Amino acid sequence: MSVAVKEKETILNFLDGDFGSVSNIPAIAGLNEKGAGNISEFPFPTRKDEDWRFTDLRSISRNHFVPVAEAGAESIGDISDYYLPEATNSRLVFVNGEYNPELSSTKDIPENVVVGNMAAYSDHDILETHLGKYTNYDEDQDVFAALNDANFKDGTFIYVPKETKVEAPIHILNVFTDAKKAFYATPRVLFVGEAYSKATIVEEHVALTQNEYLNVTVNEFKLFEGAHVHHARIQRDSKKANHISRPIAHLDKYAEYHSYTICLGAKLFRNDPRVVQNDEEVDFTIDGLVLIDGDQIADTHSAIDHRHWHAKSHQLHKVVVNDNAHSIFNGKIFVRKDSQKIDSFQENRNLLLSENGTVNTKPQLEIFSDDVLCSHGATIGHLNEDEVFYLHSRGLTKKKARELLVYAFTLESIETMEVESVHKLLLDEVVKYTSRDEEFVAVGK
């Protein structure tokens, strides 16, 4: 009798696709070819991999995804409800990963700035120089980044030249439509900000219906000296979708990068933000706010790499879990040898609203220098019943009291939104989340 040795699975076990076709843009084609090779080799992660220990990937591995072209996807109708008034003419729309020029408008973008679909820039030096240069996912044998590499043809390309400010927020609107079959899409972003440039980006993922799909995104942000970026990321995917996200930022001297990821949708959301410090005196934020219920899984595995002197970093990751939802947080902070005067703040706060919700949290500091200030912490708690009673005794129903307390918990994260309409949108989303029809399940005393 022989024991069958199970062959290692790759992501190709769970999806169809012809990865031989490559973009006619050389910079993209190179990545397409590299990715095609990698996806057939990199093993699909299992619970035995430390980075995937708590993450249930069955919503991918028990499914089968096809390319968008074979999915019978519905064509797009009027989506103006999703437009931001501040970004009426600074918006790129991607429908199921494909650029849609009719719904996009970049009239408000200054002439020397590039905001567009990278497939339209066949011989742009900046694109050639930077695309694919900042992702370091191959060394981790990252199957998802490889899939993005192999598959993307369209993508956001933003280039802000030296000492230029883009006044209007740039809205990257990724829309997902209903389809007959589960499909995969691979949105891609390259942002290059030259010295002392400034821009605000709102990256949004939104589903028009609650269908199944696999959304695999890779973002590369390169900030030269003194460049300044505010980056809001709003994830409102379908509650049946899988969204795997790889945003990475490389910061030169005096650069400031502040990103805020808001997770509301997706059955499975896995976000691995990385920030790499290339020089002294950088200042950055990778905050997160997660509001999940039902059987949603939201997993953040972040890595912050302090490599030089005088960095200031901030990571506040707030999570509200209801029903059977599951939140995972693993925040790695590295301080390399000889990178002194680092001021690093990390906190993961979790609020559990139900008996059956799960939270795994692991702050992870690796410090190899001595003159640093690193504070980190993680808390998990239920709503404080004394607080509930206090508000209740003032005439508020218990439901209203709990809503108000959850709202207050999230507010700190939402107030960081610079774009007014995004701020408003998130307040509405929080109200929607907290005032669901079903009663909150009261937990604890």
Partner 1 sequence: MLEIKNLHASVEGEDQEILKGVNLTINKGEIHAIMGPNGSGKSTLAKVVSGHPEYEITDGEILFEGEDITELDADERAHLGMFLAFQYPIEVPGITNRTLLRESYNTIARENGREELDPIEFDDYLKEKLDVIDMKDEFLERSINTGFSGGEKKKNEVFQMAVLNPKLAFMDETDSGLDIDALKIVSDGINKIAGPENAIVLITHYQRLLNYITPDYVHVMMGGKIVKSAGKELALELEDQGYEQLEKEFSLNGEAQ
Instruction: Pick the closer one to partner 1 by CB: 217 or 410.
Output: 410
CB of 116 to partner 1, least distance (A): 41
CB of 13 to partner 1, least distance (A): 46
Instruction: Pick the closer one to partner 1 by CB: 50 or 386.
Output: 386
Measured at the CA of 231, the angle between CA 225 and CA 234, to 5 degrees, comes to 165
The pair of structure tokens assigned to 150 is 């192999």
Instruction: Pick the closer one to partner 1 by CB: 52 or 407.
Output: 407
Q: Which phi and psi (to 5°) does residue 17 adopt?
A: 170, 145
CB of 236 to partner 1, least distance (A): 23
CB of 359 to partner 1, least distance (A): 20
CB of 384 to partner 1, least distance (A): 8
Instruction: Pick the closer one to partner 1 by CB: 101 or 444.
Output: 444
Neighbour tally for 416: CB within 10 Å: 16
Instruction: Pick the closer one to partner 1 by CB: 200 or 434.
Output: 434
Neighbour tally for 337: CB within 10 Å: 10
Q: What is the DSSP letter of 163?
A: T
CB of 424 to partner 1, least distance (A): 16
Task: Tell me the C-alpha distance between 286 and 140, whole Å.
Answer: 21
Q: Please provide the size of the chain in residues.
A: 445
CB of 395 to partner 1, least distance (A): 4
Contact 96, 210 (CB under 8 A): no
The pair of structure tokens assigned to 8 is 């290692």
Helix 26-39 with 143-151: angle, nearest 10 deg: 140
Contact 415, 316 (CB under 8 A): no
Instruction: Pick the closer one to partner 1 by CB: 48 or 445.
Output: 445
CB of 445 to partner 1, least distance (A): 8
CB of 271 to partner 1, least distance (A): 25
Pick from 315, 309, 312, 306: nearest CA to 334: 306
Instruction: Pick the closer one to partner 1 by CB: 304 or 351.
Output: 351
H, E, C per residue of 253-272 = CCCEEEEEEEECCCCEEEEC
In a 3-state reduction of DSSP, which class is residue 66?
A: strand
Contact 195, 163 (CB under 8 A): yes
Instruction: Pick the closer one to partner 1 by CB: 87 or 405.
Output: 405
CB of 344 to partner 1, least distance (A): 23
Task: Count CA atoms closer than 13 A to 380's CA, side-chain side.
Answer: 14
Kindly list the residues in this chain that would bind partner 1 in the complex (CB under 8 A).
384, 386-387, 389-398, 400, 404-405, 407-409, 411-412, 445
The pair of structure tokens assigned to 343 is 């001021």
Instruction: Pick the closer one to partner 1 by CB: 360 or 416.
Output: 416
Which class for 311: exposed (0-12), middle (13-18), buried (19 or more C-beta within 10 A)?
Answer: buried
Q: Which helix (DSSP H) or strand (DSSP E) does residue 214 occupy?
A: strand 213-223
Instruction: Pick the closer one to partner 1 by CB: 251 or 353.
Output: 353
Q: Which helix (DSSP H) or strand (DSSP E) does residue 391 occupy?
A: helix 385-392
**Which residues, at least 6 apart from 427, have a Cβ–Cβ distance to it below 8 Å?**
414
Q: Which helix (DSSP H) or strand (DSSP E) does residue 359 occupy?
A: strand 358-367
Instruction: Pick the closer one to partner 1 by CB: 71 or 426.
Output: 426
State the distance between the two ends of the chain, measured CA to CA, in whole angstroms. 58
CB of 415 to partner 1, least distance (A): 10
